[in-house]
Homo-oligomer: A and B are copies of this chain.
């Protein structure tokens, strides 16, 4: 195998890009090397998380978004779009693989769209880390918008909220017991709420319920500061008008993704949110937080690796055995081992 050339990734070589992502997926050292080499080119892409339960039509929405985003303009040209599909619903009735093939066909031929799915199976635990690494490489490869599609629940929600600039939460009418399927947690992470399948009965009710929940969450009618608590900084852009800009109220957008209805409005909201982040300086804050977390996580890994290399394995096994025998508790064992 020839080594992967980061320059060719940056210049748009698809094969090199795919190989780099595979290297990351397989924990190969080349994955780290590529990220390091591409890092100077990163920090430009707009990371958009799209999350929601299975059955809400996330994938269709993401496809439509990609298609219609290509007709929009960023810096006077059509933006290059990448899709990372994390944890594709791999049901036996036609999940990941079939879905991917349909997607490929639908979006094929457009060189400005790149799709990559990441199986959650086997990557468990390291999934957030790998998604971030994918985003770094795609950012360095020059994609303007990176759509990250995840099944929204638990830790995945938290991970996507920490990674993405903009989080879109997708709901659909008639999911489970309707509102019961909507957890309070999503209101915390959603920058934009989408009610997909808006042609179905109950869509308006779902939208109304979401708006009511948002009003409760954000504390009534007052325009309060949500998740993006704006911090006073010295380098605050002059363009900011405090009264208008300091709070973001997540809009609730009705969409029928299969017909493309409401998708243009959604794109408008995505760009509006991006402008909000830029104008308030939250974009930069998020970036700093993300890199801080990344460095801290890497330090953690390094410390554990170092420890693993130096540990006396027989001592560890002896201590473990004594813990199993209840001679002492795990916390006491750690004191013996460190």
Contact = CB atoms under 8 A, between A and B. Distances in A.
In the A-B complex, list the 9 residue pairs whose CB atoms are closest, starting with the nearest. Answer: A55-B176, A153-B153, A155-B155, A39-B329, A36-B329, A303-B303, A154-B156, A298-B334, A55-B177
29 contacts: A35-B329, A39-B328, A42-B326, A43-B326, A53-B176, A54-B180, A55-B180, A87-B154, A89-B180, A89-B183, A90-B184, A91-B179, A91-B180, A92-B216, A93-B180, A124-B155, A151-B183, A153-B156, A175-B176, A288-B324, A291-B324, A294-B330, A295-B319, A295-B333, A298-B334, A300-B304, A302-B338, A303-B304, A303-B307
A124 B295 contact: no
A216 B95 CA distance: 15
Contact of A55 (B32, B56, B95, B181): B181
As for how many copies of this chain the complex holds, the number is 2
Contacts of A298: 330-331, 333-334
Contact of A299 (B177, B295, B338): B338
Contact of A331 (B32, B154, B155, B337): B32
A158 interface: yes
Interface string A284-303: 00011001101100111011
Interface in A174-216: 175-177, 179-185, 188, 212-213, 216
A285 to B, nearest CB: 11
A185 B88 CA distance: 11
A120 B329 contact: no
Interface in A38-66: 39-40, 42-43, 53-56
Interface of A: 32, 35-36, 39-40, 42-43, 53-56, 87, 89-93, 95, 120-121, 124-125, 151, 153-156, 158, 175-177, 179-185, 188, 212-213, 216, 287-288, 291-292, 294-295, 298-300, 302-304, 307, 319-320, 323-324, 326, 328-334, 337-338
A182 to B, nearest CB: 6
Contacts of A304: 299-300, 303
Nearest to A291: B323
Most chain B C-beta atoms within 10 Å of own C-beta, residue among A176, A302, A330? A330
